[in-house]
Structure 1
Amino acid sequence: MDTVVNDLATKQCRPCEGGMPPLSSTEVTILMDQLDGWEFSGKLIAKTYNFNNYYQTMAFVNAIAWISHREDHHPDMTVGYNKCHVEYTTHAINGLSENDFICAAKIDTLFKI
């Protein structure tokens, strides 16, 4: 699985605008198999990361912000003292795009460092 995640994590997000369809359930299933611990729920994917303290949590949140800025694809996050819940969906198409999975893989790679 790590090799596949690394493959997703090396891709770059592409501009995604309305008018293109969201990923099919088959495509979502294939991409979900390439992620570690993410959950699929309707039109989004989500994962909660746990940390030892607030400083580690905020460092992680800031790293996600940097990745999001570089990829121009932004998650919804809920941040607590020692955890960060991350959700991805592509609002422009009202569903999931490959960009959601690329960013999820990049965050997983970051978490392993």
Structure 2
Amino acid sequence: MGNLATESLDTSKEGAKVLEEQEARELLASLDGWSLISVEGVPRLEKVYSFKDFKQALAFTNQIGALAEDVGHHPALLTEWGKVTVTWWSHNLGGVHRNDLIMAARTERHKN
């Protein structure tokens, strides 16, 4: 399957489609602690990261924000005392694209 974190994002708009649930789950199996959830019927990838305090949680949030901004693909980030919830999905497609799994894998590079 390869390393998702090293894959290039697919930036083509033409033919972009969400992954079938089974394919998303198979790819997600290589990412520790990530879940496939549904919010208002829209599939999303989500993980909660724990930190010792708000300062560390905020620093992680800023790292992921910079990572997202660099590639123009942005997650939902909920920063709280001692934790950050990261949620990836392709808003324009209404579900999970392979790019979301790539970005989840890249997010893993920034933990701790």
Moved over 4 A (4+): none
Q: Structure 2: which 5+ runs fail to align?
A: none
The alpha-carbon deviation at position 30 of structure 1 amounts to: 1.5
Please list the CA deviations of residues 58-104 of structure 1 after superposition, one character each: whole Å capped at 9, or x if unmatched: 11011001110112110001110111001111011111101110111
Alignment partner, residue 75 of structure 2: 75
Give the fraction of aligned pairs with identical amino acids, expressed as a percent: 29
TM-score (norm 1): 0.86
Q: Structure 1: which 5+ runs fail to align?
A: none
Equivalent in 17, 21, 24 of residue 17 of structure 2:
21
- Which structure features the higher share of helix residues? 1
Distance 1:102-1:57 versus aligned 2 partners, 3 A rule: same
Alignment partner, residue 39 of structure 1: 35
Distance 1:75-1:16 versus aligned 2 partners, 3 A rule: farther
Q: 1: CA distance between counterparts of 2:111 and 2:69?
A: 18
- 1:58 maps to amino acid: L
Preserved contact between residue 22 and residue 95 of structure 1 (Cα < 8 Å):
yes
Structure ranking higher on relative contact order (CA contacts 8 Å, 6+ apart): 1
- Which structure features the higher share of strand residues? 2
Aligned length: 108
